[in-house]
Amino acid sequence: MTELLTPILSANWGVDKSWTLKSYLSFDGFEGAKKALKLKPEEVLEIVKESGLRGRGGAGFPTGTKWSFVPQDNPNPKYLVVNADESEPGTCKDMPLLLASPHTLLEGIVIASYAIHCHTAFVYVRGEVAHVARRLQAAVAELYAAGWLGKDIQGSGFDLDVVVHSGAGAYICGEETALLDSLEGKRGQPRLRPPFPAVAGLYASPTVINNVESISSVPCILRNGAEWFSAMGTEKSKGFTIYSLSGHVAKPGQYEAPLGTTFAQLLECAGGMRAGHELKFFTPGGSSTPILTPADVDIPMDYEGMVGAGTMLGTKALQVFDETTSIVRTTLRWSEFYAHESCGKCTPCREGTGWLVQLLKRLEAGQGHEGDVDKLLSVCDDINGLSFCALAGGAVACVTSAVKHFREEFELGYTTPAWEAFPYELSTAWAGGAK
């Protein structure tokens, strides 16, 4: 099924020293930027708009439209901030991209900055990846040396500086307004909107925040044209993307394919479930998206398709679990993630996620009280939609969707520990022989 795959971003991955400028240039690197610099910034923006590219960081907001929200008559400097804080559980596409080909992102930064008249761009990369920081730092240095960053880029008259900024471990900083506060040197807690970042973002100035994959998709759009891009994908979800498959599949990894590919197709590319096992449930877009079951494997995985299925495409992080897996265990671990990562600003998330964890812990241990499952859902109601930002919504989604599909397994927690019902050693990567 590999004809289905569209290795565009990943075309140069695996090549020796693919992260260097020299290697990148041999893959038509910076051809897109050269084209862009010959156009007017507004024309570049139009191309990206026409392509139909939507934000690949989870929200799926049309990228060109977001760029057009920047008020060019605002006297403050304009900023581009690349969100490389990839922390949504299951999401693992941006880090490999930055390791293998940081220049893909940087070329996209040059083009995007040019389009929105930005002269200082930031890459906010999560801190727990030292080697990614190295590759980015080295790539930026190469570009300054080669005249692709700094003053008067390639003689175009356009100036651009790029600052690589390492985070320090906070999932919430992947939320765009929390990222801005973090980048300003404060605690990374989300901000009130309005004002929106496009008008008052970093340092109260117009700012565009985009995901790594979104900006990395811009060079090929400039190289090959908006039509080439929009010919792929579905009517409302144009283009290609990187689907990340992990868990109980034979070949976990990054699968670049047009939007609208189904889970069944991707699973086939990934060699199916590991031998002798069956699909139990999977997440379409990370732990914050309601889980799906074998009934949903043929739904096109684009933004609208997933919403229609009662979930979200999110970051296209497909975590796949087979029948050896205890749903109670996974829900508990995800809930512990949210409780640990809650920024603490608002009551429902700060207090509610902790309560959910306490309830799930005793269900996992087989010590749940009668009525705990309903209580779980009721607490979710007190959180959902009432919080300051969407983190709480994600925390609730994984619980409510798990209970919806596997209520009995949760109720089993009134009597039976999850590790007895689903022996934990059976779900390990090496179960049934070394990997």
Interface positions, 174-203, toward other proteins (CB under 8 A):
182-188, 192, 203
Q: How far is the CB of 401 from other proteins (least distance, A)?
A: 14
Q: Give the strand pairing for 317-322 and 207-211.
A: unpaired
Residues in binding contact with other proteins, number by CB under 8 A: 126
Instruction: Give backbone dihedrals phi and psi of 80, rounded to 5 degrees, phi first.
Output: -115, 130
212 binds other proteins (CB under 8 A): no
Instruction: Report the distance separating Cα 140 and Cα 144, nearest Å.
Output: 6
Do 63 and 143 form a contact (C-beta atoms < 8 A)?
Answer: no
Helical segments of 234-371, H only: 263-269, 303-308, 327-341, 347-364
Q: Give the strand pairing for 118-125 and 78-84.
A: parallel
Q: How far is the CB of 144 from other proteins (least distance, A)?
A: 12
Per CB under 8 A, the list member of 37, 153, 221, 339 interacting with other proteins is 339
340 binds other proteins (CB under 8 A): yes
Do 149 and 109 form a contact (C-beta atoms < 8 A)?
Answer: no
Binding mask 90-119 for other proteins (x = CB under 8 A): xxx-xxx--xx-------------------
123 binds other proteins (CB under 8 A): no
Q: Give the strand pairing for 240-247 and 317-322.
A: parallel
Per CB under 8 A, the list member of 329, 410, 412, 418 interacting with other proteins is 329
Per CB under 8 A, the list member of 70, 346, 399, 403 interacting with other proteins is 346
Q: How far is the CB of 33 from other proteins (least distance, A)?
A: 20
Q: How far is the CB of 251 from other proteins (least distance, A)?
A: 6
Q: How far is the CB of 381 from other proteins (least distance, A)?
A: 7
Per CB under 8 A, the list member of 83, 214, 217, 287 interacting with other proteins is 287
Query: Which residues, numbered 69-88, are part of the site for other proteins (CB under 8 A)?
Result: 77, 86-88
Helical segments of 207-342, H only: 212-216, 218-224, 226-230, 263-269, 303-308, 327-341
Residue with smaller CB distance to other proteins, 197 or 252: 252
Query: Which residues, numbered 370-389, are part of the site for other proteins (CB under 8 A)?
Result: 375, 378-379, 381-383, 385-388
120 binds other proteins (CB under 8 A): yes
- Which residues are CB-neighbours of 425 under 8 A, at least 6 positions away? 431
Output the 3-class SS for 367-385. CCCCCHHHHHHHHHHHHCC
